[in-house]
Chain A
Amino acid sequence: MKKFFFEVLIILKDGILDPQGSATQKVLKRLEYPIDNIRFGKLITFEITAKDKDNAEKIAKEITYNSLINPVLENFELKLLKEIEI
């Protein structure tokens, strides 16, 4: 078996209001920085034990889509960071 280390970046879809982002932007604008479109996201990391990469990726994707994100509001990018033999 191997252990696979994943990270998933969760971002709000375009058009979904991001109040944290807009509040932060407002403050930075007030400081006169030329900044636009600040969006906050979430970074979640986890480890999957599986026999191969395909299997691990399948499980990771399933967990992400069914639990970690809300597909009405959010998009995600799932990345395999590394794998180790156990």
Chain B
Amino acid sequence: MKAGIIVFPGSNCDRDAEFALNMAGFKTEYIWHDYENIKDYNLIFIPGGFSYGDYLRAGALAKFSPVMKQIEKYILNENGFVLGVCNGFQILTEAEILSGALTKNNSLKFICKDVDIKPINRETAFSRYITKDSLTIPIAHSEGNYYIENYEELKNKNLIAFEYIKNPNGSIGNIAGIYNETFNVLGMMPHPERNSLKILGNGDGLEILLSIRRSLENE
């Protein structure tokens, strides 16, 4: 199984992603953001950081990178799965691949701590093989407050991936992560790649990555 990690100018969780994906059994390659061929990967990981310095808005400038056009095609053709974490989630919403938007935490503060999240829709490739009812995953963001006008629709379509057990940032409906309508894209603010081993916490982040790998293998 091969995972590609997109690297934007300003990405800084790309190496954590590589480490965690290797732990989950993926072969990994970095993909510079102006690269134009990503068809061969089973998983595309859009890591956290500050793409283009988060100028204008978090993720707003990254959506114009050439690789994003390829990612849109990749998703449409269902070539594999896309996981966007933190800044990756912000980029996916800015590119309108995922609905809604992420705005400033209502505390005004950058929050960096472990939070507990629970998987809501457990039928997707990203969640099918998660064994626990709640996962402890670190967050590190100042713009993680998820907002969407039609929250009910999101809920009715079962697009909510994870909810915070205790809301850290003011997100509507305690949302920590959402899917696209074809369930091949997951965007989430918590960083599973930062808790991929027991020594880094309890290893809960690996549950999500392993679920993706097992789903790919069993397809």
Contacts and interface: CB of A to CB of B under 8 A. Distances in A.
Interface of A: 12, 16-20, 22-23, 67-68, 70, 72-73
Contact of B105 (A16, A19, A67): A19
9 contacts: A17-B103, A17-B104, A17-B106, A67-B64, A70-B94, A72-B101, A72-B147, A72-B148, A73-B101
A72 B106 contact: no
Contacts of A68: 56
A22 B147 CA distance: 18
A16 B147 contact: yes
Contacts of A23: 108
Interface in B89-109: 93-94, 100-101, 103-108
B103 A73 contact: yes
Given A17-B170, A67-B60, A72-B101, 14 more contacts: A17-B103, A17-B104, A17-B106, A17-B145, A18-B104, A19-B105, A20-B104, A67-B56, A67-B64, A70-B57, A70-B94, A72-B100, A73-B103, A73-B147
Contacts, number: 35
Contacts of A70: 57, 60, 94, 101
Nearest to B142: A19
B149 interface: yes
A12 B50 CA distance: 22
A22 B108 CA distance: 9
Interface string B138-151: 00000001011100
